[in-house]
Chain A
Amino acid sequence: MTELNRDAIQAQLKACTSKEATFKELVSLSKQLERLTDAEKIEENKVKGCESAVWLIERQENGICTFQADSDAKLMRGVLMVILSLTNGHSKAELQAMDLAAELNEFNLSSYLTSSRTNGILRILQQIQT
C-alpha cells in the first residue's frame, strides 16, 4: 500500500485555492488508492447510506488497524485516501478516542463535502470506529 502521509495530503489539499484545484487534487489522490478486488467488493463489505458505492475492509494485527476502502466514484476514492491517512496504523481504542469528523474538516474539502455526501462519510467514520 502506498504511503499514507496524512500531513502531505493535508498540505496538498490546503494549498488548493479554488474548487477546481480541490477536485483535481481529489482525482490525483484517487489514483493512489489501492483498489479492492471484485471478490472483496461484496455486499457485506459495503458501507450503507453512501451516495456512491463504498466498500470498507478492516484488518487487525497486534491490535493495530489497517483499513482498505474503495468506491465506484473517483472523488469518493480521493476522500477515502484522506480518511485512510487519518485512520490507518491506530488501535481501535485510539480511533474511538479521535474526533474523525473534526479531523477531516482540516482538509479543506468543503467544496466537495455537501451535506448528503457528508452523511455518507460519517457512516464510514462510524464504521471505522466500531
Chain B
Amino acid sequence: MSFDANTIRDEFPILSMEANEHPLVYLDNAATTQKPQVVLDALITYYTTSNANVHRGAHYLSDRATAQFEHARDRVAQFLNAPENSYVIWTKGTTEAINQVAHGLEWCITPDDEILITSLEHHANLVPWQQLAFRTGARLRVLPLTSKGEWEPEYAHYFNEHTRIFACTQISNAIGVKTPLKDMLAAAKAVGAFTLVDGAQAVAHYEVDVTELDCDFYAFSGHKMYGPTGIGALYGKAHALDVLTPLQTGGEMVSHVTYNSTEFNTLPYRLEAGTPNIEGVIGLSAACDFLASQDREDMLIWEQKLARYVYDELKFNNDIEIYSPAIDTTVVSLSVPGIHTLDLNGYLDSQGIAVRAGSHCAHPLMAQLGVSSTLRASFACYNTLSEARRFCDVLLEAIEILGDD
C-alpha cells in the first residue's frame, strides 16, 4: 500500500465541482470532510436493500438492518482499538457525546469538586462542563496550555484531590496543535478523576488507540472522518458508562416499564433512546473501512506536508501571523493584522477556495491568542500540493487588494 492524493481524490465525487467559476479547492476539512464514494454507496445500499428499524421487528429486513447496525458497532470499536469491557454508544456527534457525559455524571458532582479542561477546547468541550459546574456548584478550572500545546510543570496542582473530571481535546480545532494528552491523562488518573478525550479533530488523521490512551470516555464525530453528518460515538469503559444517567429516555433503552417505574436496558442500549441514525451508523462503518484501507501513516505525512508547505510559504511574510505550529499539524491558522478574516475569506471564496474564518467555537482561545478570529486552512488526504500553492497565491492576492488603505 502506498498513498497517493491524486488517486484518492477520484474517490470523492464532489471534488471535481466548480465553486464560483473556479475549480473547488476544499480546505475546510477541520469543519467537515468530504465523503468518498464508498460511504455514499453504503448509504444507498442500506436504503435499497436493508432499510428497517433495528432491534424491533422480527422480520427479514429488520434482521439485516440490525446485523449491519451491530456490525458497525464492532467496526468502530475496532477502529478505536477498544479493549474488553468497553462500549461504543451512538450519538449525533462529539457534542452530544460530551453532553451525555456531563449530564450523566451530574448526580455525583458536589460543590467541593473541580472539573478541569484546558485552554485549547472547542466550546463543545467547554460549555457542557461550565453549565454542569453552574448546576452543581462545582468549580470549572482551565489548565493553561500554551498555543504550542505545552504545559508547565508548575501547573501540576491543577490536578488534585478535588478533580472529579478531566476533559481535554486531543487536537485543537482552531490552531491544529496537539495537546500533551499522555502526561495530562496520567496526572488525571493519579488523582482518580474521570477522563474524557475529545477526539473530533484526531480521528481523520491519527490512528486512535483508546486502549493505550486508557481514558474513560472518548468522543468523536463521523462527519470529520469522511463519514456522514449526524452520527458520532461516545466510547466508554463499562464501569464509567454504567454510572451515567441517560441524557434521554424513551424507546429501546428500557427493559420494563410500568406507570410507576422503569427498568433500564443494559449497555450500550441504555444510553441510546429512540430510533437511532441507522444510515449514519452504516455510513460511519464504511468510513472506518475507507480509512483502514489506506496507509494511514503515509496519509498523515502527506497532510502534514501540505500544511508545512503553506507554513513555509507564508512564515516570512510580515503581513501574516501564523498561530499553528510548524510541524506535526494538518492545519494552518493565521491572521493578517489590519484585514478582517471575513474579508480574506470573501476573496478566497470568490476564487473557489473554501477555508474557515472565525473564532472556531473557541472564544477563550482566541482571547489567549489576542485575536478575534483567524483564517484556517485545514487539510485532508485528498488535497494536493497545487491546491496548497493556490491557497497561498490567492491569499497574497487578497492581502494586496484588501490591504490597500
Q: How far is the CB of A14 from chain B (nearest CB, A)?
A: 17
Which of A24, A28, A51, A111 interacts with B342 by CB under 8 Å?
A51
Query: How far does the alpha carbon of A76 sit from the alpha carbon of B346 in the complex, in Å?
Result: 10
Q: How far is the CA of A31 from the CA of B347 in the complex (A)?
A: 18
Tell me the minimal C-beta distance from A32 to chain B in angstroms: 13
Asked if B243 is at the interface of the complex by the 8 Å CB criterion, the answer is no
Considering only residues 48-75 of chain A, those with a C-beta below 8 Å from chain B are 51-52, 72-75
Contact of B346 among A24, A31, A72, A75 (CB under 8 A): A75
Which of these, B343, B349, B351, B404, contacts A114 with CB under 8 Å?
A: B349
Query: Is B404 a contact of A23 with CB atoms below 8 Å?
Result: no
The answer to whether A72 and B350 touch (CB under 8 A), given A27-B401, A27-B404, A111-B20, is no
Mostly, the A contact residues are helix
Given contacts A23-B401, A23-B402, A75 and B343 within 8 Å (CB-CB): yes
Is there a chain B Cβ closer than 8 Å to A19's Cβ?
yes
B340: Cβ under 8 A from any A Cβ? yes
Given contacts A52-B340, A111-B20, whether A75 and B350 have CB atoms under 8 Å apart is no
Q: CA of A75 to CA of B342 in the docked complex: distance in angstroms?
A: 9
Which B residues from 318 to 350 make CB contacts under 8 A with A? 339-340, 342-343, 346-347, 349-350
In the complex the two chains form, what is the Cα distance from A72 to B342 in whole Å? 10
Which chain B residues numbered 356 to 405 have a C-beta less than 8 Å away from chain A?
397, 401-402, 404-405
CB < 8 Å neighbour of A23 from B340, B342, B350, B405: B350
Contact code string A106-118 (vs B, CB < 8 Å = 1, else 0): 0000011010010
Category for how many chain B residues contact A? 10 to 19
Shortest CB distance A105–B (Å)? 17
CA distance A51 to B340 in the complex (A): 11
A44 is an interface residue with CB less than 8 A from chain B: no
Q: A52-B342, A117-B346 are in contact. Are A19 and B402 (CB under 8 A)?
A: no
Residue ID in chain B nearest A28 by CB atoms: B404
* B340 x A111 contact (CB < 8 A): no
Q: Please give, as numbers and ranges, the residues of chain A lying within 8 Å of B20 by CB-CB distance.
A: 19, 111
A20 part of interface (Cβ distance < 8 Å): yes
**Please, which residues of chain A bring their CB within 8 A of the CB of B339?**
74
A74–B343 touching, CB < 8 Å: yes
Contacts of B397 in A (CB 8 A): 20
Residues of the B chain whose Cβ atoms lie less than 8 Å from the Cβ of A24: 401, 404
**Contact yes or no, B349 A23, CB < 8 A:** no
Q: B-facing mask of A13-31, CB < 8 A → 1, else 0?
A: 0000001100110011001
Q: Nearest chain-B residue to A23 (Cβ)? A: B401
| In the bound complex, CA of A28 to CA of B339 (Å) | 14
CB neighbours (8 Å) of A27 from chain B are 401-402, 404
Contact A74 B402 (CB under 8 A): yes
Contact A20 B401 (CB under 8 A): yes
Q: Closest CB-CB distance, B122 to chain A, in whole Å?
A: 20
- Whether the pair A73, B340 counts as a contact (CB closer than 8 A) is yes
Q: Is the CB of B401 within 8 A of A112?
A: no
Distance in angstroms between the alpha carbons of A49 and B405 in the assembled complex: 27
**Chain B contacts of A74 at CB under 8 A?**
339-340, 343, 402
Pick the contact of A112 from B340, B346, B405 — CB < 8 Å? B346
- Closest-CB distance, B30 to chain A (whole angstroms): 18
A52 to B255: give the CA distance in the assembly, Å.
Answer: 51
The answer to whether B351 and A75 touch across the interface, beta carbons within 8 angstroms, is no
| B24 CB to nearest A CB, Å | 14
A98–B190 Cα distance when bound, in Å, is 68
Kindly report which residue of chain A lies nearest to residue B346, judged by CB atoms: A75
Residue of A nearest to B357 (CB): A51
Residue of B nearest to A24 (CB): B401
Pick the most buried of A19, A23, A74, A111: most chain B CB atoms within 10 A of its CB: A74
Docked-complex contact B350 and A111, CB < 8 angstroms: yes
- A112 near B350: Cβ-Cβ < 8 Å: yes
Q: Is A73's CB under 8 angstroms from B404's CB?
A: no
CB-CB under 8 A from A52, the residues of chain B are 340, 342
A49 to chain B, nearest CB (A): 14
> How near does chain B come to A7, taking the closest CB pair, in angstroms?
25
- Compute how far the CA of A73 lies from the CA of B405 in the bound complex, rounded to whole angstroms: 13
In whole angstroms, how far apart are the Cα atoms of A24 and B401 in the complex?
6
When distances are taken between beta carbons in the complex, the residues of chain A under 8 Å from B340 are: 52, 72-75
A51 to B20, CA, bound (A): 20
16 contacts between A and B (CB under 8 A): A19-B350, A20-B401, A23-B402, A24-B404, A28-B404, A73-B340, A73-B342, A73-B343, A74-B340, A74-B343, A75-B340, A75-B342, A75-B346, A76-B342, A112-B346, A114-B349
Give the 8 A-B CB pairs with smallest separation, nearest first: A73-B340, A19-B350, A73-B342, A75-B343, A52-B342, A111-B350, A73-B343, A74-B343
Knowing that A51-B342, A114-B346 are A-B contacts, what are 18 other residue pairs whose CB atoms are under 8 Å apart, sorted by A's residue number?
A: A19-B350, A23-B346, A23-B347, A23-B402, A27-B401, A27-B404, A31-B405, A52-B342, A72-B340, A73-B340, A73-B342, A73-B343, A74-B339, A74-B340, A75-B340, A75-B342, A76-B342, A76-B343
